[in-house]
Structure 1
Amino acid sequence: CSLCGQYPAKERESPPEGILWLCASCKQKRTCSRWLRIHDSIANTIKESRPKVNEVKFPEQFEQFEKIGKESRIEGYMGYVVADGNRMGEKIKLHEVSSTADRYHDFSEKVKECTDEALVEAIIESVPKTFDKRDNSVFLPVLVLILGGDDMTLVTTAESALPLAAKFSQKFQQKTKEKGIPEISMSVGVVISKIAFPIFSYAKLGEELLKSAKRLSREMRKGGKEVGAIDFMVVTSPSTQSLEEVRKDSFYYEKKDTSERFWLTARPYTTTESDYDFNLEKMLNFTRQFKNSDFPRTRLKAMERYLRMGKGNSILEFCTMRLRLKETKETKETHYGLLNEFISTFKLHEQMPWRIEKDNAGEYFLTNFLDLVEIYEFVQGGKQ
């Protein structure tokens, strides 16, 4: 299948954007054609707020993402976003939903409304618009590929992907509460990579990230609260490894002499409010602040090296860097203060820059500074 990359293609389509081979599921979703109407809804909303706009344009060719890549701040990259409602099977079994055909139909229609409305708002708020004075048109670098009842897949600029995904998850959950149906949270997987990255590879990794986010949401549900979640990855080169293997190779190590274990990522993150410390909105806000304050990038990049040196050496290197920031009068209040705020928010002060966590194998050290480093170039802020 050209769209999901998961199932065998059964039918061929020849739209203006080129030949598509579709599985039965994607064919059904495109036949229902909400993905076409959603572009119209986005365009109409923009025209209402900007009367001078005559036309809103979207990328035309499915297999050629060059326009999106050129609009990205890091040219040649784009973001692939896949989202799905959490525990929909459980919601459908509720008496208030399935006791009658009318109730089930009403629930289904309201879920669709929540998805459409949340998506339109998230796209308009998150995706940069390019205005062309020649014909008073606006180009919006986003393309909705799949839009089902509570699931969605789209591509957009690299720096729009994470903010859009977070807002979509938040807005969808809020709208389910406003419309009087059982509250539903939304999980999201985001892949940021080069436009030349095969679409089926985007789809495969996106689904793995989505499943990872859903596991966190399911774990958070044990506390009695619906919580949206997101997992993400920046990919610079294709890999045949699974997400679990990549994470373990890139973000995990053990010190054989001390038996200490270290995780260099806190992913997945939550998208909605909860008691969980690692929230994507907080991470995005900090990333913008680091960029806007012109925090020395060399100091952030250096973390990739010394955070892999074990507890003692990494603590020494980090504290030395922090002390030097404090001694720099010009940026003491901004850079030093910002670093301390990050440490406090994510509770990394116990063994700075680490926090101690536990699993079935015992204690391990965790930090999320490399999450910030990974997305740094793909979050708007700083000198454009």
Structure 2
Amino acid sequence: MAEDSGQERTEEPTPKKLQEAKKKGQIARSKELGTTFVLIMSAVSLLIYGPDIGRGLHTVMKRMLSLSRNETYDTTKMFAAWGAVADSLLYPMSMFVLVIVIAAFIGNTMLGGFNFSWQAMAPKASKMSPMKGFKRILGPQAAVELIKALLKFGLVAACAVFLIKMYFYEILHLSIETLPNNIAHALEIIAWMFLALSCTMIVVSAVDVPYQAHNHHKQLKMTLQEVKDEYKNSEGDPQIKARIRRTQREMSQRRQMQDVPDADVVVTNPTHFSVAIKYDTEKAGAPIVLAKGADEMALQIRKIAKGNDVPLVESPVLTRALYHTTEVGEQIPEQLFTAVAQVLAYVYQLKRFEKGRGRRPSKLADKLPIPDEFKY
């Protein structure tokens, strides 16, 4: 959708986008960084284990060049001879290879971290497309790789010429040294030259790592439409959510209207707000708000109350306080106990009077005891 719309990728990738890219194996990687780390650690390993490898090679050459006639024609003795000389090379060569393997793992996970993805391993027809192959060959990424290759060639060639000049006479001197010192010395020269050549790759890696990180981040950028679509998929369509909220509100209003006939009293503003209250001493220790509403809903509450002989009491300040501080089904705040108690007492006395069991109650006080912080 985003590609068809022609929108530019200007938005930062969302956490979901980054997570999906990681599952697909799309993470920042620098081949130059991995290669540089492997080469440098190989050179260091050669410096450490080079002398042992040199001595082992000397042992092998000495043993193989001093085979007797019987050992030459007897295969069993030949294999025994090979087993004897292998011991001298097994440990240093094993450690040398182990260092390289560990360096390869660390070097290739330094940028982007470790990640295993089955999706990246799955075959894709797009990777076998000749047209896309030509695009990759002639694209900007190929140009960058060509520049890196030229840079590597130039740096390595210049460093190699310098090292050959520096070690020239030392290399010539190897021909007059005795065994096994010349082998160990040759390996030492090779290791130092190898290390110096490998260090030239640090310059290439220093350029490639920021470029790969930037290029990966650029590829994961999203269009504004993609961000909107992802929000809809993860959070839900705003229109659908609004419709759900409206339906929930209507259901809540219907439940409130069903509870209004059970109220003991409905306090009103008298026009804008209505709050239905019930006080059941057996179920709750304080009066409960059964329903509340403003404007049209307030009018509906009053109509239902009148139709079910629920007393209506005008108290603008108390009604606004109850409407703004209490939700449906909650007990009224403690600070409003006294004011609501006076209203309920007035209603109870009025009901007794209507049944002929008492005298008419005096008019409800205009100013009920309501704290200033509850006045709206």
* TM-score when normalising by structure 2: 0.17
Larger strand proportion, structure 1 or 2?
1
Larger helix proportion, structure 1 or 2?
2
Q: Could you say which structure has the larger radius of gyration?
A: 2
Larger relative CO (CA 8 A, sep 6+): 1 or 2?
2
* TM-score when normalising by structure 1: 0.17
